[in-house]
Structure 1
Amino acid sequence: MSAIPILETERLILRVPRTEDWSEYSVLMMSERSVYMGGPFSLDAAWGLFCHDVAQWTLMGHGALMIEECQSGLCLGQVGINYGPLFPEHELGWFVYPHAEGKGYAYEAALALRHWAFRERKLDTLVSYVDPPNTRSRSLAERLGAELDTEAPRQDPTDLVYRHPKG
């Protein structure tokens, strides 16, 4: 097990999820906004996902970090690395809450975590699994320099798989 990092960018702190993050997280996961992540989820399932995000740090040496704005202390969303039975490859994923959309926070957070994953965890590859209608995530993956990999394994055959550059 590796220590859970705290990553900082110019505007953000990426930190371990806390109990006080649950309320806003659960609202998102139980809403239609979670449709591209397999939702909407029940309260029980949302809680399981929240706990999963933290447990991966112990089990896999990576997991989810909440995105917090340095200046205000507001929680803006989450970025994480998933792996295990539901993810054929290490996956870089993200979401931001409605109040944080369109400000580049997901890009900044994903770039920081990707850099950490390659540098500190020495991962060979990272992909992002994206539901085809999720144009915002598709655009973000492309902005991050990820390219479609039509040959990559995927759990959901309809997912697009974006392979991230190692640099």
Structure 2
Amino acid sequence: MTEIPTIETQRLILRPLTMDDWPEYAELMSSPRAIYMGGPHATTAAWGMFCHDAALWTLTGQGALMLEERDTGRCLGQVGINSGPFFPEHELGWLVYAHAEGKGYGYEAASALRDWAFNVRGLQTIVSYIAPGNIRSRKLAERLGGELDAQAPRPDPADLVYRHPHPVVGK
């Protein structure tokens, strides 16, 4: 069984999901804010997604981590490396709860997990699949150094694909 890492940054602890994370996650996934993640979702679908995020660690050696603010212990969102039969490539994804938006937490968490995926997990390439209308996520992908790759396969033909450079060697 793969050990789920805990990754620490200046302001965050990226840690495994717990049942205490479920209510706020479910609330986001059932809200209009989930539109760019295929939602809003019924509670049963959100539960399946939550379990998927945890199960990926056992099945693929990567998955989702929750963003916890170091100073307060408050959960701020999630970042993950998605893979499996519905993902043509390893995908770096993120979600930030409304109370934490606009403070750089998404960038801090996504940078840390991206670096872990390349340098510890040994992935050679990582992309982000983003709905064209999701301007905040597109800007974050660009801030992370991601570049549009119009030729990349994608799970949804409408998605944009941002390819992330390797943080050490610029691959």
Once residues 87 and 105 of structure 1 are traced to their aligned partners in structure 2, the CA distance between those partners, rounded to angstroms, is 25
**What SS class does the counterpart of residue 47 from structure 2 fall into?**
helix
Once residues 157 and 6 of structure 2 are traced to their aligned partners in structure 1, the CA distance between those partners, rounded to angstroms, is 34
Gaps of 5+ in 2: none
Equivalent in the alignment of 1:155:
155
**TM-score, structure 1 length as denominator?**
0.99
Gaps of 5+ in 1: none
- What does the per-residue CA deviation read over 1:2-53, in whole Å, with 9 as the maximum and x for residues that have no partner? 2100000000000000000000000000011011011111010000000000
Structure 2 residue 110 is matched with structure 1 residue 107:
no
How many pairs align?
A: 167
**What SS class does the counterpart of residue 128 from structure 1 fall into?**
strand
Equivalent in the alignment of 2:136:
136
The offset of 1:140, in angstroms, is 0.2
Structure 2 residue 19 is matched with structure 1 residue 22:
no
- What does the per-residue CA deviation read over 1:44-90, in whole Å, with 9 as the maximum and x for residues that have no partner? 00000000000000000000000000000000000000011211100
Once residues 34 and 86 of structure 2 are traced to their aligned partners in structure 1, the CA distance between those partners, rounded to angstroms, is 17
Once residues 155 and 56 of structure 1 are traced to their aligned partners in structure 2, the CA distance between those partners, rounded to angstroms, is 17
Once residues 120 and 3 of structure 1 are traced to their aligned partners in structure 2, the CA distance between those partners, rounded to angstroms, is 13
Equivalent in the alignment of 1:63:
63
The offset of 1:101, in angstroms, is 0.2
The 5 A counterparts of 1:68-107 are 68-107=68-107
Once residues 32 and 86 of structure 1 are traced to their aligned partners in structure 2, the CA distance between those partners, rounded to angstroms, is 24
Equivalent in the alignment of 1:126:
126
- What does the per-residue CA deviation read over 1:105-128, in whole Å, with 9 as the maximum and x for residues that have no partner? 000000000000001110010000
Letter in 2 for 1:115: D
Letter in 2 for 1:48: G
Letter in 2 for 1:47: W
Once residues 97 and 63 of structure 1 are traced to their aligned partners in structure 2, the CA distance between those partners, rounded to angstroms, is 19
Equivalent in the alignment of 1:51:
51
Letter in 2 for 1:63: G
Q: CA RMSD in A?
A: 0.5
Range with greater deviation from structure 2 (81-90 or 57-66): 81-90
